[in-house]
Structure 1
Amino acid sequence: MLPPRGEGAAGDRAIQEALEAAWPADLPAGDERQLLAAGRALLRADATGMGRERWPKVFPGSGLAPAFSSARFRVQAAIARLDGRPDRAVVHLVWAGADRGGTYSDGRITDLHFTRTSKEGVPAWVPQPRT
């Protein structure tokens, strides 16, 4: 059962549990941890502008003003799962934030896609630009 919109941080655990129940884990734990950390950071960079320089291919010439306040942004829940092939993954994020106009809402949904690469023999997950 999902919490009602506006429940705040108190509802985050229920959202996390609903995501996990809907999409059973299919990645090794290390890959999932790496993808979740990257997905959270990438979403924060996209929404708030903080950290965009970390991903110049995702945010080329990132002169766009951030759409959301960094002070009123949080990830409510997140999972990482394979995306059709063993070298592709998607991070599903549910998040909350206040836009530049001050309107706060939760239950926002974003999917970020990643591809597995290997640099100097070390596997890594690379975010794909949004199209």
Structure 2
Amino acid sequence: MATAPSATPTGSAPPVVESALPPHGEGVAGDRAIQRSLEAAWPADLPASDERELLTAGRALLRADATGIGRTQWPAAFPALRQGLAPAFATARFRIQAAIARRDGGPDKAVVHLVWAGTDRGGTFTDGRITDWHFTRTTRRGTSPWTPQPRI
């Protein structure tokens, strides 16, 4: 005869599950936990040199997109019609909390996953924002072998 699972005793609380992520608004102190969480959830799968190059490019692209600084360096990612858009975030209140670069469906495709915080033009601060930049490997000489893909 099968026995029924035992019920939780009356009045007892369900177990508390703690998040590996810091609470919103933790500030710079929580960034390391976010980085560790990303790395644990998505193990590295690129050569270290590719990962470094992609992270540098991904951070620069995000900064250019959010603050407007450096958009001209990325004409493929920021076509002329986006070059003149007013930046949505102030540079003084923008920071990248964590970033990883990983393969994205094949050896010649990668994605840089960024978690960031910023204060928008209206003065609202939000952390834990997520942006992905996708790249393809190219073979042009004298330039980066990774080309960012335009955002749709």
Please give the residue correspondences for 1:68-87 in structure 2 after superposition, counting only pairs within 5 Å. Answer: 68-87=89-108
How far apart, in 2, do the equivalents of 1:46 and 1:71 lie? 15
Give the number of the structure with larger relative contact order, counting CA–CA contacts within 8 Å between residues 6 or more apart. 1
1:119: Cα distance to partner? 1.1
Query: CA separation in 2, counterparts of 1:122 and 1:129?
Result: 18
Q: Distance in 1 between matches of 2:142 and 2:27?
A: 43
RMSD, aligned α-carbons = 1.1
Could you say which residue in structure 2 is the equivalent of 1:102? 123
| Residue equivalent to 1:65 | 86
Asked whether 1:26 is paired with 2:45, we answer: yes
Find the aligned partners of 2:144 and 2:130 in 1 and give their Cα distance: 28
Shift of 1:123: 5.9
Q: 2 CA distance for matches of 1:96 and 1:121?
A: 34
Unaligned runs of 5+ in 1: none
Asked if 1:91 is matched to 2:122, the reply is no
Distance 1:95 1:64 in 2: 20
Offset of residue 97 of structure 1:
0.3
Aligned residue for 1:56? Answer: 75
User: Which ranges of structure 2 fall in alignment gaps of 5 or more residues?
Assistant: 1-19
Match of 2:60 in 1: 41
In the superposition, relative to structure 1, how do residues 106 and 114 fare at CA in structure 2: closer, same or farther (>3 Å)?
same
Q: 2:140 aligns with which of 111, 119, 123?
A: 119
Q: Which runs of 4+ in 1 moved over 3 A?
A: none
- CA distance in structure 2 between the aligned counterparts of 1:4 and 1:127, rounded to whole angstroms: 32
1:16-66 Cα shifts (integer Å, max 9, x gaps): 000000000000000000000000000000000000000111111111100
1:15 aligns with 2:34: yes
Deviation at 1:121, TM superposition (A): 7.7
Q: Which amino acid aligns with 2:113?
A: H
Q: What secondary structure is seen at the aligned counterpart in 1 of 2:145? A: strand
Could you say which structure has the higher strand fraction?
Answer: 1
**Counterpart for residue 3 of structure 1:** 22
